[in-house]
Structure 1
Amino acid sequence: MIGSVGVIFGETGSHTFKFMVTDPALRRTDYVKVWHSTDGWVLCQVMSMTRSEGADNKDRVIASVTVIGVRDQQGLLRAPMTPFRPGDRVYKAEEELIVETLGLSDGGAYLGLLDGTDIPVTVDRNKLIQKHCSILAMTGSGKSYTAAVIIEEMMEKGVPLLIIDPHGEYATLKEPNDDADMGALAEKFGVEPQGYKNVTIYTPGNKKLCGYADRPLRLNGVNLKPKEIIEYVPSELNNTEIGLIYEAVNALRNDGIDYTIKDVLREIGSSHSAMKWGVYNKLEPLLEAEFLSDRPTPLTELFARGRTSIVDMKGIGPDVQQAIVAKLLDNLFEARKAGQVPPGMVVVEEAHNFCPEKGFAKTVSGDVLRAIASEGRKFGLGLLIISQRPAKVDKNVLSQCNTQIIMRVTNPNDIRAITKSLEGISSELEEEIKRLPPGVALFVSPDIPRAVMVQVRVRKSRHGGASKEISDEADKEDKPPAGGSLFKRLFGKA
């Protein structure tokens, strides 16, 4: 056996202890093992290290350790019933013990490597869909990059995906990763560059707003109910204006013919009310809103086995984005309940804008996202929620995400929101979240009994979500943005 890395001293327990470090190569978050007289080899993790000067004027390095435990005969993870003994030696844990104790089985969606090791970390795709997932991180920590890694893993198994993309970050899934550092990183993570051809980009606007889109996204604009019309109006309507809309729609219904927004406006224009021109002006932009049509995009086209559909919201106002998402996801959820579309996953970027916590804002899209979060697992419709402001995301939606991927977060309100949505998070892990380097995530999964640090694997496709430099001239050309700068921050020089 390789030599020990230290010796236990002082007061010990069955859940924590300290040891004097004798191996200068030992690092915080390293996995170690200690022999227990009753339970055999027990897996532990170094959570913190301190250095001080001893009586002999030599440095002393002390490691504080959390006990992870050992698998019993039934395969259950448990901690020893009695404490370790001072004087017991501590050893580096080998890969086999780490994999067995943490339950890091092969197969599933490959996220990356257990931080500080070459051990792959995977997650069961079915559980990811059925039990929802969230990615929470401050700007620049790699949340969109990590989301794309999960999307790639889903695409390779033909899982239907619908991506709500407010800023046009995911169009580059079509293109292979061509970063100069990709070669060595591909070897490290065991992946190859790849562009995905089963990706279709939809725009609710026109090609002038999103020149790289493949197809327009159109929602039904025929025989809209008054409530649906009101939700599409970005301006606030007073009670009188709402009443005029109801009167106009009821009159058209009584005529027994199909009607459009144009017909509703004509009916409002014929009203004798002095308020008609105010509501007319607020509804008139819907005539130019190309996403309402008598030929809506079929859901069976948007959400199909082996297809990834990106709804690129570039150039669409926030209020209209929320209305589009509300109607689109409501239609999708109803179609899934009826078995008209296959099981799959909805990816929501900037989720705090679409399902905000009460007190921050109220959106028309919040209700349907809460419904999918609470009921979607029964019907095989999963959510991947992505946000840089966890405190602003509806807590009921976050609490339904059994798999959480947390990258660097420093805002105290966001930290509190994360700890409330996670069970049993320790103060050490709270501090760890504040210090996580870009590209490293705290991974919490029902499949793994303990939160682990994962170095997210390199993307196979090109990253399109990095911030542009002020001097960047690339945005003069209407194309998906490049993302090399974030790539280097995540992985550095290979």
Structure 2
Amino acid sequence: MTSEETITVADVSVGPGGTDEINAGTPVELPVVDLLTGRGFITGKSGSGKSNTASVILENLLDNNFPVLIVDSDGEYYGLKEAYEILHVGADEECDIQVTADHAEKIASLALEENIPIILDVSGYLDDDDANELLLETARHLFAKEKKLKKPFLLVVEECHEYIPEQGGMGEAGKMLIKIGKRGRKHGLGVVGISQRPADVKKDFITQCDWLVWHRLTWRNDTKVVGRILGSEYADAVEELGDGEGFLVADWSADIRRVQFHRKETFDAGATPGLEDIEQPELKSVSDDLVSELTEISDEKARRESELADLRQELDKKEATITQLEQELEDARDLSRMADQFAQAMLQRSEAAYRQTAPPAENEPAAADQPADRSATADTRAGERPTATADTTGAQTTADGVFGDDLTPADFATAVAGGDDRRRQAMTIPLAMRKTPIRRLTARSRSIRSRSTPQR
């Protein structure tokens, strides 16, 4: 590619706003390097010819094997496949392959490193966030790769006001396009924005453009933009432009030229439907190798998602098991505390019974030698013994109800009354009292819980 290389896309036309120095019908040539690396803007109301102008420029670039990537917001550029082998990616089944943001780096690599023209069709995504993420990641990878490659390359963005609006917040995709507009040129990355509403496009982008095409505009706010940039005479004349006519403003030309752009040669997929049947053209297909490279990414993504789903399912099972075990542990702790309390109560009762039935010490005077007032106390104590025995029997009944026949408070009391050795042996009984009942009650609790808990 030489710096003097050009493409012919239009002819000079006559009418208000043009120049008298150039004869009507004179071919209009655009320098290729400035197109590929510069910043352009094409605007006009619906039906004025802006998409045709973009297609004519693209056809000329493709004829000379210059690389381009088209962000298609309305699904109207697939008609280029009638004459060119272009990789059409997006969300629709009509695309060569369905892609997501995971494919962005590979898309950028194919476009830049393998010189594959690509239509990035974002019209089929039901969620705008998915489309914006795909554009963001693709533009980001293009910018990053161009910093190293420094290869002239053109990014065309339809309906650019959706990404770089004059009013309202700008998303990450729009910020990336603004970055390319400001810094892409020195790396070889050019960008062209296309919109039917110049008043809705961020003015920072428009005023930085190297070349602009103004097709017919009739809305007052839009013609005001023309007046501010071109002058009041063009604000009036832009309303009277015919289909395909436009004012061409470029840094490489000192004049504002009124031109008539050529008609595109490929199928016009963006034409307004009429009553007659539209015959769909036969579209060129891309090589299987190109599609297979992107398919591998899709397959790898599907495999990762399947593995993640399996891991999530396994994690849910483990969390459910942990929850169940924590509940069982809490139940066991409750039962253990109950057993400790019961064993402590039995120990206290048995010690009380031992103190009441133990013989007096050698230095303690016999009951007959006690004073009269102490005889009454002894009589009172003797009278309490049947009550203690009754309490022990009650405790035994309670123990039988909970612990079974293998251990009773009477056994415990006998052990305590049997002397120091048997008393020490008795101190280990509460531990034995805990083990068996906890197992029994835990099993019973599980059985009750399994019957009362609904199945998930």
Cα distance in 2, alignment partners of residues 119 and 305 from structure 1? 36
Find the partner of 1:427 among 227, 232, 248: 232
> 1:320-469 alignment to 2 at 5 Å?
320-339=130-149, 342-357=151-166, 359-420=167-228, 422=229, 425-469=230-274
Task: Show the counterpart of 2:10.
Answer: 112
1:215 paired with 2:97, answer yes
**Matched letter for residue 330 of structure 1:** R
> 1:461-480 alignment to 2 at 5 Å?
461-469=266-274
Cα distance in 2, alignment partners of residues 306 and 216 from structure 1? 20
SS in 2 for 1:307: coil
Cα distance in 2, alignment partners of residues 163 and 129 from structure 1? 13
SS in 1 for 2:143: helix
**Per-residue displacement from partner, 1:268-288 (whole Å, max 9, x unpaired)?**
xxxxxxxxxxxxxxxxxxxxx
Find the partner of 1:201 among 71, 88, 93: 88
Paired residues of 2:199 and 2:225 also in contact (CA < 8 A): yes
Compare CA radii of gyration and give the structure with the larger one: 2
Find the partner of 1:164 among 68, 71, 85: 71
CA, structure 1 residues 111+214, in 2 after alignment: closer, same or farther (shift >3 Å)?
A: same
Structure 1 or 2: more strand by fraction: 1
**Matched letter for residue 428 of structure 1:** E
- How far 1:305 sits from its partner (Å)? 5.8
Find the partner of 1:314 among 123, 139, 142: 123
- How far 1:107 sits from its partner (Å)? 5.7
Cα distance in 1, alignment partners of residues 197 and 106 from structure 2? 32
Cα distance in 2, alignment partners of residues 131 and 416 from structure 1? 25
Task: Show the counterpart of 1:244.
Answer: none
Paired residues of 2:101 and 2:130 also in contact (CA < 8 A): no
Cα distance in 2, alignment partners of residues 315 and 131 from structure 1? 29
Task: Show the counterpart of 2:327.
Answer: none
Paired residues of 2:73 and 2:122 also in contact (CA < 8 A): yes
- How far 1:217 sits from its partner (Å)? 2.8
- How far 1:300 sits from its partner (Å)? 1.7
**Per-residue displacement from partner, 1:162-208 (whole Å, max 9, x unpaired)?**
10001111111122xxxxxxxxxxxxxxxxxxx123x11011x2xxx
Structure 2: segments with no counterpart, 5+ residues = 15-23, 284-456
Task: Show the counterpart of 1:132.
Answer: 39
Cα distance in 1, alignment partners of residues 173 and 118 from structure 2? 19
Find the partner of 1:173 among 80, 91, 107: 80
CA, structure 1 residues 464+298, in 2 after alignment: closer, same or farther (shift >3 Å)?
A: closer
- How far 1:145 sits from its partner (Å)? 0.7
Root-mean-square deviation (CA), in Å?
2.6
Paired residues of 1:200 and 1:309 also in contact (CA < 8 A): yes
**How high is the sequence identity, in percent, across the aligned residues?**
27
CA, structure 1 residues 107+301, in 2 after alignment: closer, same or farther (shift >3 Å)?
A: closer
Paired residues of 2:107 and 2:138 also in contact (CA < 8 A): no
**Per-residue displacement from partner, 1:69-115 (whole Å, max 9, x unpaired)?**
xxxxxxxxxxxxxxxxxxxxxxxxxxxxxxxxxxxxx9612111111
Per the normalisation by structure 2, the TM-score is: 0.55
Structure 1: segments with no counterpart, 5+ residues = 1-105, 176-194, 221-290, 481-494
- How far 1:304 sits from its partner (Å)? 4.2
**Matched letter for residue 381 of structure 1:** L
CA, structure 1 residues 448+324, in 2 after alignment: closer, same or farther (shift >3 Å)?
A: same
Cα distance in 2, alignment partners of residues 352 and 343 from structure 1? 25
- How far 1:434 sits from its partner (Å)? 1.1
- How far 1:361 sits from its partner (Å)? 3.9
- How far 1:416 sits from its partner (Å)? 2.5
User: What is the number of equivalent residue pairs in this alignment?
Assistant: 271
Cα distance in 2, alignment partners of residues 479 and 460 from structure 1? 14
CA, structure 1 residues 418+318, in 2 after alignment: closer, same or farther (shift >3 Å)?
A: farther
> 1:1-12 alignment to 2 at 5 Å?
none
Cα distance in 2, alignment partners of residues 130 and 440 from structure 1? 25
**Per-residue displacement from partner, 1:330-353 (whole Å, max 9, x unpaired)?**
1211111122x7320000000001
CA, structure 1 residues 397+450, in 2 after alignment: closer, same or farther (shift >3 Å)?
A: same
> 1:15-26 alignment to 2 at 5 Å?
none
Cα distance in 1, alignment partners of residues 113 and 226 from structure 2? 33
